[in-house]
């Protein structure tokens, strides 16, 4: 008999019919003899609806109160799903994050799980119940309700699976797995049967929104057997693996993209120790995350240019800070560009294959796509291009690396 944690996302529980369909799946799994802990999201659109409601009564809703409000979305779903299960003759009980004692830190809106009291869940399972848990929420040491950040139910599910030592954690959504690229951009994209946790992390941080990135980090840390699959159709989904299989690895597993970043350049700064710190220090003091950073080789006159990217939401703020810095350092110019996109190729096969970068740059050049910035990790190469070329770049690379379905 297996212990399985299943998580159903917002669209999978989007209305009463969908909740009944999920209940049918759970009844079937119980029929096969599995013990089940089911984590659910709020019904689709609900978290957004509650967020807008908050902003109708307050320009700056206190983070604590926002968490009290947003956590109700998941509370609705657990109650409805438990009712549906009981109506189908399957004993089920629902629990909020507070009741299960999913303990988190006190950072409202993006709390981190510190501990889960698995004893409660185990005893309810032992009594023959299916346990239905509200995703995305927890409780801090002062009994305040917290939430884990958008998409946080994935992390609840993985954390539950880790705490219980579950045999598998299955994340159900409206996509049937992880693809070689976004099928909306690349119609020939293929579902991957398996992907390593490192590749999954790189894809998630490069714009592929199948799982909340923190859930993948959590899974990696505790080696949770994790599978991503669809609640709308049958299929094996994609298994996240922790070891590279001995089979011949494809060089590249997937292409990711996003256009959430903007680029800032400061020109003509003195090329001397401490300058990068003087430029990026004030940016980080303003809690702005920087992604790619580039400094050119110093020019004849002993000055350099520094370019970096930030999230578009932080663009104006970063630009203002950089102008102040430029004044202080006597820089010649500050320029910004928010019409950029980042496209990345990801694959553990990169470790053992040479020539990936040149193949990538060559195929982009053949399409006349100019590369503005390049950054690499052990298993990823990212380029920044003008945003209007983003989709063309993704399709070009998908084809160049032989990922198109035959």
Q: Point out which residues bind Mg ion (CB under 5 A).
A: 9, 151
- Beta-carbon neighbour count of residue 24 at 10 Å? 14
Closest CB 46 distance from ligand ASP, rounded Å: 7
Binding ligand ASP by CB under 6 A: which of 110, 112, 120, 150? 150
Distance CA 176, CA 190 (A): 11
Binding ligand ASP by CB under 6 A: which of 8, 95, 129, 136? 136
Binding ligand ASP by CB under 6 A: which of 14, 97, 138, 152? 152
Q: What distances in angstroms separate CA 205 from CA 111, 183, 269, one per listed residue?
A: 19, 18, 31
Distance CA 142, CA 131 (A): 25
Interaction of residue 151 with ligand ASP, rule CB under 6 A: yes
Residue with smaller CB distance to ligand ASP, 135 or 207: 135
Site residue total, ligand ASP (CB under 6 A):
13
DSSP letter string, 236-263: --EEEESS--SSPPPS--EEEEE--EEE
Binding ligand ASP by CB under 6 A: which of 11, 82, 96, 153? 153
Closest CB 98 distance from Mg ion, rounded Å: 21
Q: What distances in angstroms separate CA 255 from CA 94, 343, 386, 394, one per listed residue?
A: 39, 7, 17, 7
Pick out residues in 162-221 that bind ligand ASP (CB under 6 A).
none
CA count, 13 A, side-chain hemisphere, 269: 26
Closest CB 331 distance from ligand ASP, rounded Å: 41
Which tokens sit at 278? 């003087």
Closest CB 209 distance from Mg ion, rounded Å: 8
Contacts of 230 (CB under 8 A, 6+ apart): 172, 173, 174, 175, 176, 177, 237
Residue with smaller CB distance to ligand ASP, 79 or 294: 79
Distance CA 212, CA 10 (A): 14
Residue with smaller CB distance to Mg ion, 9 or 349: 9
Q: What is the CA radius of gyration of the chain?
A: 24
152 binds, among ligand ASP, Mg ion, none (CB under 5 to 8 A by kind): ligand ASP
Interaction of residue 98 with ligand ASP, rule CB under 6 A: no
Closest CB 42 distance from ligand ASP, rounded Å: 4
**Would you call 259 exposed, middle or buried from its count of C-beta atoms within 10 A (0-12, 13-18, 19+)?**
middle
Residue with smaller CB distance to Mg ion, 151 or 177: 151
Pick out residues in 2-61 that bind ligand ASP (CB under 6 A).
9-10, 41-42, 47
Task: Give the Cα-Cα-Cα angle 31, 35, 40 (nearest 5 degrees).
Answer: 100
Q: Which residues contact ligand ASP by CB under 6 A?
A: 9-10, 41-42, 47, 73, 135-136, 150-154
């Amino acid at each position: 008999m297996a212990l399985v944690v299943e998580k159903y996302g917002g669209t999978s529980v989007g209305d009463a019919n969908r909740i009944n369909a999920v209940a049918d799946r759970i009844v079937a799994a119980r029929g096969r003899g599995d013990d089940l802990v089911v984590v659910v999201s709020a019904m689709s659109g609900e978290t957004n609806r509650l967020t807008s409601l908050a902003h109708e009564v307050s320009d700056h809703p206190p983070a604590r109160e926002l968490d009290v409000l947003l956590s109700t979305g998941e509370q609705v779903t657990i109650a409805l799903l438990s009712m549906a299960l009981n109506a189908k003759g399957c004993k089920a009980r629902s629990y909020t994050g507070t009741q299960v004692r999913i303990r988190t830190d006190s950072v409202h809106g993006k709390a981190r799980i510190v501990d889960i009291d698995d004893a409660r869940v185990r005893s309810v399972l032992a009594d023959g119940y299916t346990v239905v848990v509200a995703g995305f929420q927890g409780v801090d040491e002062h009994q305040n309700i917290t939430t884990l950040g958008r998409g946080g139910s994935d992390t609840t599910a993985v954390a539950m699976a880790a705490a219980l030592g579950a045999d598998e954690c299955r994340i159900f959504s409206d996509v049937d797995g992880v693809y070689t690229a976004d099928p909306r951009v690349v119609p020939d994209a293929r579902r991957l049967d398996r992907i390593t946790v490192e590749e999954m992390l790189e894809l998630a941080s490069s714009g592929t929104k199948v799982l909340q990135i923190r859930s993948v980090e959590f899974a990696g840390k505790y080696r949770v057997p994790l599978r991503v699959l669809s609640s709308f159709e049958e299929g094996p989904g994609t298994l996240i693996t922790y070891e590279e299989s001995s089979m011949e690895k494809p060089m590249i597993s997937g292409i990711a993209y996003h256009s959430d970043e903007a680029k800032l350049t400061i020109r003509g700064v003195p090329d001397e120790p401490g300058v990068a710190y003087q430029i990026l220090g004030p940016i980080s003091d303003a809690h702005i995350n920087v992604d790619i950073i580039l400094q050119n080789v110093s020019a004849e006159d002993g000055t350099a240019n520094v370019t970096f990217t930030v999230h578009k939401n932080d663009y104006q703020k970063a630009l203002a800070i950089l102008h102040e810095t430029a004044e202080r350092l006597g820089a010649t110019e500050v320029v910004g560009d928010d019409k950029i996109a980042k496209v990345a190729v990801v694959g553990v096969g990169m470790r053992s294959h040479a020539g990936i970068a040149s193949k990538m740059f060559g195929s982009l050049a053949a399409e006349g796509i100019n590369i503005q910035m390049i950054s690499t990790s052990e298993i990823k190469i990212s380029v920044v291009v003008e945003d209007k070329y983003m989709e063309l770049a993704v399709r070009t690379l998908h084809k160049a690396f032989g990922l198109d379905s035959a």
